[in-house]
Structure 1
Amino acid sequence: MKASWEKLEKNEGVLNIEVDESQVADALDKAFKKVAKKANVPGFRKGKVPRQIFEARFGVESLYQDALDIILPVAYSDAVMEAKIEPIDRPEIDIEQFEKGQPLKFTAKVQVKPEVNLGDYKGLEIPEKDFSVSDEALEEELKKNQERHAELIVVEEGTAEKGDTVIIDFDGFVENEPFDGGKAEKYSLELGSGSFIPGFEDQVEGMSKDDEKDVEVTFPEQYQAENLAGKPAVFKVKLHEIKRKKLPALDDEFAKDVSEFETLDEYKEDIKKGLQEAKEKEEDQYRENTVVEKATEVSNVEIPQVMIDTETNHMIQDFENRLKMQGMTLEMYYQFSNQDQATLKEQMKNDAEKRVNQTLVLEAISANENVEVTEEDLNEELEKLAGMYQKTSEELRNIFTANGNLETLKQDVANRKAIQLLLEHSVNVSAVEEAEEVKEAVEE
């Protein structure tokens, strides 16, 4: 096989490919064996007709399409490897010559990954941010834990307040007619949770045990049920019971009940440690995001629309998988959010373009710096993934290899190494210094 790459404008080019006649003959042989199994020729059982008789009756041309289906994918793949290009979309194939006893000649018009013009990605500035754990954050976390261990006490006298849990019956009507999903008995509702139509919970506040009341609300304009969107409704509500949280005292006994510690001070110190670890991860993520964004800003690349579309589709697939884990489908989401696929794609388009841009820049940096992914690096990555997917690292390696994604995994590791390189060569600046630099840039 012979192949040559001719670059056209931007990120397009043409592969000129020639496959020798012996490979063409082999493909025609395979095509004949496939077609002969179904050929009806008087005097012969299916699959037993001689090649000469078959070609005399149907013509050798009847084998061409099957032969092309056999030979084109292999020839194209080999030509891509020989030309050392990275296609990003299906090729446009044009057959120039194909007949028995002759070489196959065809062209493949291809879009490849665009070239990245890297800027000065070393010495990128990272504005300093405070990631320490404040006393307020510690007290807020302690209060959340206190809330989680609160006891619900039945209120025999008095009225319902925000934060109370009420047990109610309700029956909803729109234009004096009941509607689906508008009725329930002994429903448990936490006032202030915002789980009901705006205004509903506010009007239940102030009710006492055994009170009955008409609650008047208006459905939101963007409500998931289109037949109710924007319409006024009346809910007949009866309150059966009020339950109020009784918070435990924040003392040593509380610490003993909810943790392994003997004193409240020890428990608070453990909470602070957990918050600090979370802050450290948040700081790491902030620093990584900042250097990647800045490296992208100083670089230049023209992204083909097909790459943005592909990434958008991947993002929608990921979103659909997360919905499935919550027991939902994409169709259900469209109904609840009053959206469709086109709207969701439009929402994700900018993020998809940003992801593609950053990935291309990181790949260019890793190539420019000759970043090497060792077998040890790859094994370490497979071990991490093995824990996530509950498979052995060897099983995952086989899966990635079979799907042709092992090189993609290696590139992901290389990209993370590129991020570490950016961080190693970055410079921390104070917020004051950054503000002055921005001011100078604007004045210039």
Structure 2
Amino acid sequence: MLNIQTERLENHTARFTVEVESSRLDNAKQVAARRLSKQVNIPGFRKGKAPYRVLVNYLGEGAILEDAIEVLGNEVYKESLDQSEVEPYGPGALENFEIEPTPKFTFIVPLQPTVDLANYRSVRLEYDPPKVEDEDVNRALRMLQEQHAVIEESQKPVAVGNRVTIDIHSFIVDAEQPESEEHEEFIHQHDMMVMLSDDPKREFAPGFNQALEGAAVGDSREFELTYPDDEEEYGEMAGQRVKFEVMVKKIETMTLPALNDDFAARVTEGEEQPLTLLELRIRVRENLQNAAESRYKSEYAMKALDSMVEQAIIGFPEALVEDQTERMVQQFDSNLRQQGLTLEDYLKISGKTRQEIAAEYREPAIRVIRRSLVLRSVSDAEQVNISEERINTQIETILSQFGERSDNFRPLFDQPAMRDSVRDDLLEQQVIERIIAIAKGEAPEPVSAAEPEASKEATEEGESS
């Protein structure tokens, strides 16, 4: 048994102070010496055959001791974890080593995250999904007309109602930021198609149409626009000022088809029974309503989850933040590559370092961590389960999308890793549904672990219906 002192630190790590017998260090030094002797050429001796004292004189006691500490430290660290029953999040680090009076290792160990959900079932939020209005239906039908419009290239100056192809480069303007510093990039895209709609809700940016009106092909325009201070309408762009640099590459006119029964029949001609305009309007309204309710449900679930996060007591090590931040930076790099850039390109353009980019993702990473930890804890507390039958049903649904080729993909879903992935997706959906039910005050009581499996599956099916 090791002599271990465990100290819990405020940053969700633990400090192990471990004393070992001097004989273990002596043995480790002998092992280190034999290993090092095979790596060096000592005059008068074959590799691996030089005596210990000769090695000490040739390499120095410090080199042998350093190697011995590494070898013995790995052994002691593993034994310390087993004996202390501490659950580490990731690899520990050697903080200090003392050789006198007895060999003593000090390790810092990142701990597994912990969550106290507190009274999470007390969260209540009003559930009031939006209603689709006539103007929403009209807007959707107008977009359908545009998809079937006659498009002709024009040499006339830009006017509202045109479709334009542009190169756009834009930055968010921060009044407090020195002019010498690079501003945060907003949109950077070449050959971007933009519809200059007369519907304010569909305008690319408030005032964008007016700023571009009158421009000819080949013209460049520079202008600044301020988004209205309406967070509900414009989200994180509310109140932001943006500088645009736009070059017009093509101007096109659009002649819309008449909105009548013939148009409705044309856009649904592939169906068993083409629709009339009235039937098309009804379908468009239903689709919009379903989409609006789905978006609202997702936003509602996130608000409910955030309310649970607020009252929860959550602990996690800095190592978890670093890992999540790195994943987000890598995702940013992946997104850039889809636009033909790399992270290295972006760093050169923006003048930022990789460390600065990582620092920008730190707070978002912490939000992701807190949400995911609470989500997992709610799943455990609510005894949410996914049956094998449910996984099989979901796999069949996925395979059906491949049509006649479904059998080619079936072996992929027989692999345990893929089944686990399907299970995880279903579990997350189920937990989200439970969080919504809790916030609405409609959640059933958690199923006790002692209750029969049939009761668990009944609860699961009840929620998914």
Q: Flag whether TM exceeds 0.5 (same fold).
A: yes
Give 1:2-401 correspondences, 5 Å limit: 2=2, 4=4, 6-10=6-10, 11-17=12-18, 31-32=32-33, 34-46=35-47, 48-49=48-49, 55=55, 58=58, 62-73=63-74, 75-80=76-81, 82=83, 83-87=85-89, 90-97=92-99, 105-113=104-112, 116-153=115-152, 160-165=158-163, 192=196, 201-204=212-215, 218=222, 243-259=252-268, 260-261=270-271, 262-265=274-277, 266-301=279-314, 307-334=320-347, 344-345=357-358, 347-366=360-379, 369=381, 371=383, 376=388, 392=412, 397=417
Q: Deviations over 1:264-306 (max 9, x none)?
A: 4455555445434433432442232122111122223466666
Deviation at 1:91, TM superposition (A): 3.1
Structure 2: how far apart are the matches of 1:345 and 1:296? 24
Residue 191 of structure 1, CA deviation? 7.7
Change (3 A) 1:106 1:395: farther
User: In structure 1, what is the Cα distance between the partners aligned to 2:195 and 2:378?
Assistant: 53
Change beyond 3 A, Cα 1:44–1:26: same
Cα deviation code 1:29-63 (max 9, x no counterpart): 764564333210234444x5255576465467644
Query: Are the structure 2 counterparts of residues 340 and 73 from structure 1 closer, same or farther at C-alpha, using a change threshold of 3 Å?
Result: same
Q: Distance in 2 between matches of 1:107 and 1:248?
A: 77
Contact 1:288 1:419 in 2 (8 A): yes
Cα distance 1:421–1:152, how it changes in 2: closer, same or farther (>3 A)?
Answer: closer
- The question of whether the paired residues in 2 share the 8 Å contact of 1:41 and 1:49 is answered with no
1:2 and 1:18 in contact (8 A); partners too: yes
- Change in Cα spacing, 1:416 to 1:113, as seen in structure 2 (3 Å) is farther
Conserved 8 A contact 2:88-2:109: no
1:81–1:272 Cα change, 3 Å = farther
Equivalent residues of 2:309, 2:370 under 8 A apart: yes
TM-score normalised per structure 1: 0.62
CA 1:377/1:352 → structure 2, altered by over 3 Å: closer, same or farther? farther
Q: CA deviation digits over 1:378-407, x for unaligned, max 9? A: 988x979x99xx994576739x9xxxxx9x
Q: Matched residue of 2:214: which SS?
A: helix
Structure 1 residue 413: deviation in Å? Answer: 8.3
Q: Map Cα deviations across residues 141-168 of structure 1 (whole Å, 9 max, x no partner).
A: 2221221222213568x76522335799
Q: Relative to 1, partners in 2 of residues 1:352 and 1:43: Cα closer, same or farther, differing over 3 Å?
A: same
The amino acid that maps onto 2:417 is R
| Structure 1 pair 340–271 and aligned structure 2 pair: CA distance change class (3 A) | farther
Change in 2 beyond 3 A, CA 1:26/1:71:
same
Aligned pair count reads: 375
Unaligned runs of 5+ in 2: 167-190, 197-202, 226-241, 400-408, 443-465
Task: Look up the SS of the partner of 1:127 in the other structure.
Answer: coil
Q: Which amino acid aligns with 2:213?
A: D
Q: Percent identity?
A: 20
Report the AA paired with residue 128 of structure 1: Y
Residue 190 of structure 1 and its aligned partner are, at CA, apart by: 6.0
CA distance in 2, matches of 1:188, 1:85: 51
Counterpart CA distance in 2 for 1:73 and 1:95 is 13
1:315 Cα offset (Å): 2.3
Using the alignment, how far apart are the partners of 1:409 and 1:107 within structure 2?
42
Amino acid at match of 2:275: T
Deviations 1:182-238 (A, max 9, x none): xxxxx998684869x99763232xx7xxxx99x7855669xxxxxxxx99x9x9x9x
TM-score in terms of structure 2 length: 0.60
For residues 14 and 160 of structure 1, do their structure 2 counterparts lie closer, same or farther at Cα, with a shift above 3 Å needed? closer
Q: Give the whole-Å Cα distance in 1 for the aligned partners of 2:193 and 2:87.
A: 60
Structure-2 change in CA distance of 1:220 and 1:291 (3 Å): closer
Verify the 8 A CA contact 1:123 1:427 in the aligned structure 2.
no
CA RMSD, 1 decimal: 5.3
Q: Could you say if the C-alpha distance between residues 161 and 49 of structure 1 is closer, same or farther in structure 2, counting changes exceeding 3 Å?
A: same
Query: In the aligned structure 2, how far is the partner of 1:132 from the partner of 1:343?
Result: 43
Distance 1:32 1:119 in 2: 55
